[in-house]
Amino acid sequence: MASTTAQLADRCLLPGFVGTRAPDWVRRRAAAGLGGVVLYGRNVESPEQLRRLTDDLHSERPELLVSIDEEGGDVTRLEVRTGSSYPGNLALGQAGDLELTRAVAFAMGSELAATGIDLDLAPDADVNSNPANPVIGVRSFGAQPALVAAHTAAFVEGLQGAGVAACAKHFPGHGDTSTDSHLELPVAAEDPRLGALEPFRAAIAAGVRSIMSAHLLVPVLDSVPATLSHRILTQLLRDELGFGGLVITDGLEMRAISDGVGIAEGAVGALVAGCDALCIGGGLAEESIVDELRDAILEAVRSGRLSEERLAEAAGRVDSLAAWRAERQPAPAAQRGVGLEAARRAVQVEGPVRAGADALVVQLRPGASMAVGAVAWGIAPPALSFDGPPVDVDGVLRRAEGRGLVLVVRDLHRHAWQADAVEALLARRPDAVLVEMGLPARRPARAGSYVSTFGAGRVNGQAAAERVLS
């Protein structure tokens, strides 16, 4: 039986919601043909609770796509309260073992499959060519296109080998930017064909089931954001790169779209450009936003701006991904130990770093990006923690008198207040151990004892603590 235009529009929507149980409106719309939902940390309390939630959602319609943004490392929804059991991409790139990357992704996929997740919005396939990038950083496998491409393909193979669909993001590449698309419209000045496209080519060759568009401007390709660009999403991604799977938008409420064309116009423009599934719900998680987007889509069809054939094509790709997931065999139990193994292999140590079990641990905590959110991180419960200036340097030194001192930072190169505090402390305690849990782009000259974890997942911190606090 053919779907109505309204049903096709519903199939293209992937909203979010608040709470650890599905609201009545979500269940009702799921039963009526909603394409899927996106889960966030606010929806997860435990694996058992998550399985009950996904079972309830799938009981309304088995084909509903339940998705989550689980990258490992800094970006986790499954373990938002404790930090991830798996290192993030930069640590995997640093370890430099494709089989290890594949194994980590397979273990993560097995865990996701066991909780009823159909689609993981990972891996991040961006080449982090700009160290000042505030939103990618350690979420990338690295700064070299070939390395990122190889690990992206391995991650896709591991995740999908466990039966969970992967999503390479953010097309055509978010690494060459210096602003966060959650807050404004970034600009990628470099031609993606010079390197940024290479990981996406590798992901497509590896059979990736979905690709996420980036809310950024690429002037060499088009004058509108990539999510709204027919040139980028259809001519480049579909026609040139040959991708036939599902194209998903990044969150439409991100200000790169919402402050520009607006959310409803963004939804319509994305479908016209070639997107198939529309993500909404990170910030706007009420039924009213679903009504607004569906109404905008229906009006676009009525006016002739969006053809019903394009809408049906988009809905069909959502259905195809759901059918692929239904055909997967149950994955084996997750082997979480591979995450700590990978984190240990990534740690880089320079100089004498054993500060002892009684060392004073001081954590300098910059604000996290919206993509990361409020996730626990560090190498141990800190004795002192500072979320910004001023840092009580004299107080720290008094507390550390007669014992080791460990300074834990994250992206020192991007936060002047951290750098100033570290310099002041190292000037008086040159024996202090500096642990960088972000991008290791700035090592102070006085830091003779330096540890790089290449990410801030729980296992990254555990691997560093084994080297520093033993």
- pLDDT tens by residue, 158-210: 999 999 999 999 999 998 887 766 677 888 888 999 999 999 999 999 999 99
Residue 260 has a CB neighbour count (10 Å cut-off) of: 17
- pLDDT tens by residue, 103-160: 999 999 999 999 999 999 999 999 999 888 888 999 999 999 999 999 999 999 999 9
Catalytic site residue 250? yes
Q: At what angle do helices 145-161 and 198-205 cross, to 10 degrees?
A: 30
Q: Which residue has the higher pLDDT, 442 or 186?
A: 442
* Identity of the residue numbered 378: G
Catalytic site residue 182? yes
What pLDDT score was predicted for residue 1? Answer: 39
C-alpha to C-alpha distance for 105 and 187, rounded to whole angstroms = 30
- pLDDT tens by residue, 42-101: 999 999 999 999 999 999 999 999 999 999 999 999 999 899 999 999 999 999 999 999
Task: Output the CA torsion sign for 66, 72, 73, 78.
Answer: positive
Write down the catalytic residue from 151, 170, 174, 182: 182
Confidence of residue 282 (pLDDT cuts 50, 70, 90): confident
Which phi and psi angles does 387 have, rounded to 5°?
Answer: -95, 0
Write down the catalytic residue from 126, 250, 276, 411: 250
C-alpha to C-alpha distance for 285 and 14, rounded to whole angstroms = 11
Which of these, 151, 154, 157, 174, lies nearest to 93 by C-alpha position?
151
The model's pTM = 0.96
C-alpha to C-alpha distance for 12 and 6, rounded to whole angstroms = 10
Which residue bears the tokens 């910030």? 283
Give the contacts of 194 (CB within 8 A, at least 6 positions apart): none
Tokens of 283: 């910030």
Which DSSP string do the residues of 153-193 spell out, in sequence order? Answer: HHHHHHHHHTT-B-EEEEET-SSS-SS-TTTS--B--S-GG
* Identity of the residue numbered 363: Q
In this predicted structure, the answer to whether residue 2 has a pLDDT above a threshold of 60 is no
Residue 385 has a CB neighbour count (10 Å cut-off) of: 13
Using only the alpha carbons of the chain, give its radius of gyration. Answer: 22
Residue ranges of alpha helices (H) inside 13-121 are 24-32, 47-60, 89-95, 98-114
What is the rounded average pLDDT for all residues in the chain?
94
Q: List beta partners, residue 210.
A: 167, 246
